[in-house]
Amino acid sequence: MTRITTTFERLQAEGRSAFVTFVMAGDPDFDRSLEIVQGLPGAGADIIELGMPFTDPMADGPAIQLAGQRALEAGMTLDRTLELVRRFREGDSDTPIVLMGYYNPIYSKGVDRFLAEAGAAGVDGLIVVDLPPEEDEELCIPAQKAGLNFIRLATPTTDDRRLPRVLQNTSGFVYYVSITGITGSASANADAVAPEVARIRDASGLPVCVGFGIKTADSARDIASVADGAVVGSAIVSMVGDGKSTDEVLGFVRSLADGAHAA
Active site residues: 49, 60
129 closest CA partner among 155, 93, 165: 155
**Strands, sheet with 208-211, edge to edge from the N-terminal-most edge strand:** 149-150, 125-128, 97-101, 47-51, 18-24, 229-232, 208-211, 174-177, 153-154
User: For residue 228, what are the contacts with CB-CB under 8 A and spacing of at least 6?
Assistant: 8, 11, 17, 18, 173, 197, 201, 207, 208, 209
- Residue type for position 258: D
CA distance 96 to 151: 13
Please state, as a whole number, how many other Cβ atoms lie within 10 Å of the Cβ of residue 180. Answer: 11
**DSSP letter, residue 167:** H
CA neighbor of 131 nearest in space, from 167, 168, 104, 110 = 104
Report angle CA 7, 211, 116 to the nearest 5 degrees: 55
CB 149 within 8 A of CB 2: yes
- Distance, in Å, from the CA atom of 3 to the CA atom of 205, rounded to the nearest integer, reads 18
